[in-house]
């Protein structure tokens, strides 16, 4: 591990895809990696042993939500986020810029940072680049994210350029404010909307400052998969090859696969947990609506080939019943299943990259993922 930050090593490649190892003060992360979203110091509905059982190595917390409730200083007094939520592994914290833009009201943005009123109680808060870094330090995040402005979509090229360049100036201030220590690091965030030249300008500017990792932000905001992949094609090659690359807020299983093929190492997304709360299951055959009446007498697991704790112990009929009865156990069981599916998918990508068989993995994935809402063979449905 670096004496002044994180350690990252690329172990195997298959085309642009990389299998690697990220070392932090709270343990190792094998990449590609999917981070479970624990916005408010909880992966909704799951205890730490349940999260560990899904194969999750690293979780994500959020600066905006935690600074408002219970407060970064309070979490620091209670021993930091790892101790507070009883999570022993690595934690990345999103800087809160996206949430300020999407959730807060009466916000004003200028060169100094963002002033906003809380969506919880209307209290006024100032979030500067320096304060964002301080909050994440108080939380004891292993990976701190720079404060940035998430460029809205759609935006004109001039609007995207102004937003991106402000974010680059903020990134430099975050780098100056960050307190370096072993096993902790700071990631820059590439912005620039859907404009290739702006994305490359942003990537070059961040690399010149020097960060422990590089995130690609401002995607999965409505531009569609084809445009997102095109942006990645233009952006990823401009990022340092010896640092991890993180695609923020993505995404669906096919998005993860396509991004890994383009050289991305880290992901986070609310889809597996949010879908688990609304009755949508991810399976090797695609997505399945567990509220559908055809499951009400189906004694088989959600996914017959899944080894998660939900599939090992419970039937489709039972999970269907829990959702129809509005029992809280339904979302818990399905969240655990979905997160396990995501972690198994990403682990399969790691194995395929190491074996040089990623193309075969992708072909098999594409051939099976369109069948999710069809009855399983011999289901009688």
Helix (H, G, I), strand (E, B) or coil at 333: helix
User: Within 13 Å and on the Cβ side, how many CA atoms surround 5?
Assistant: 18
- Is 373 catalytic? The answer is no
C-alpha distance from residue 73 to each of 60, 79, 171, 177, 370 (Å):
19, 10, 23, 17, 48
Catalytic, out of 14, 148, 268, 303? 268
Rounded (to 5) percent helix, strand, coil in the chain: 40, 20, 40
Catalytic, out of 94, 140, 148, 303? 94
Structure tokens at 22: 């990220």
Q: Is 158 exposed, middle or buried (0-12, 13-18, 19+ CB in 10 A)?
A: exposed
Report the run of H or E that residue 289 belongs to, with start and end: strand 286-289
Sign of CA dihedral 353, 373, 331, 139: positive
Is the preceding omega at residue 251 within 30 degrees of 0, hence cis? Answer: yes
C-alpha distance from residue 175 to each of 13, 29, 209, 368 (Å):
30, 23, 8, 45
Among 88, 85, 89, smallest CA distance to 46 is for 85
Q: What is the 3-state secondary structure (H, E, C) of 117-136?
A: ECCCCCCEEEECHHHHHHHH
| DSSP-assigned states of every residue in 44-110 | TT--HHHHHHTT---EEEEHHHHHHTT-HHHHHHTT-HHHHTT--S-EEEE-SHHHHHHT-EEEEEE
Among 184, 171, 67, 211, smallest CA distance to 125 is for 67
- Is 126 catalytic? The answer is no
- Residues classed as catalytic: 94, 268
């Amino acid at each position: 591990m670096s004496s002044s930050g994180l350690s990252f090593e690329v172990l195997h490649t298959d085309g642009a895809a990389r299998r690697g190892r990220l070392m932090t003060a709270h343990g190792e992360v094998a990449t590609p990696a999917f981070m479970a979203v624990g916005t408010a110091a909880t992966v909704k509905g799951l205890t730490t042993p349940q999260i560990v059982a899904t194969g999750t190595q690293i979780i994500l917390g959020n600066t905006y939500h935690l600074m408002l409730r219970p407060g970064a200083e309070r979490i620091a007094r209670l021993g930091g986020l790892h101790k507070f939520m009883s999570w022993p592994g690595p934690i990345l914290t999103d800087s809160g810029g996206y949430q300020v833009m999407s959730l807060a009201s009466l916000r004003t943005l200028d060169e100094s940072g963002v002033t906003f009123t809380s969506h919880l109680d209307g209290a006024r808060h100032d979030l500067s680049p320096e304060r964002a870094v301080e909050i994440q330090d108080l939380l004891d995040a292993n990976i701190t994210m720079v404060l940035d402005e998430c460029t809205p979509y759609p935006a004109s090229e001039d609007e995207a350029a102004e937003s991106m360049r402000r974010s680059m100036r903020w990134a430099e201030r975050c780098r100056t404010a960050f307190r370096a220590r072993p096993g902790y690091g700071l990631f820059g965030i590439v912005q620039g909307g859907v404009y290739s030249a702006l994305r490359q300008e942003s990537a070059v500017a961040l690399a010149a400052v020097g960060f422990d990792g590089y995130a690609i932000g401002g995607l999965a905001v409505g531009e569609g998969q084809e445009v997102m992949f095109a942006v990645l094609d233009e952006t990823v090659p401009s990022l340092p090859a010896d640092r991890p690359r993180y695609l923020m807020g993505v995404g669906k299983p096919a998005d993860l696969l396509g991004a890994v093929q383009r050289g991305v190492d880290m992901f986070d997304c609310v889809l597996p947990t949010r879908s688990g709360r609304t009755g949508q299951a991810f399976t090797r055959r695609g997505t399945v609506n567990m509220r559908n009446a055809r499951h009400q007498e189906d004694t088989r697991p959600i996914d017959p080939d899944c080894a998660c704790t939900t599939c090992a112990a419970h039937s489709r009929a039972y999970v269907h019943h829990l959702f129809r009865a509005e029992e809280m156990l339904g979302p818990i069981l399905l969240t655990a299943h979905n997160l396990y599916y995501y972690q198994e998918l990403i682990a399969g990508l790691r194995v395929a990259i190491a074996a040089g068989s990623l193309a075969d993995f992708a072909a098999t994935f594409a051939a099976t993922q369109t069948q999710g809402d069809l009855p399983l063979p011999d289901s009688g449905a």
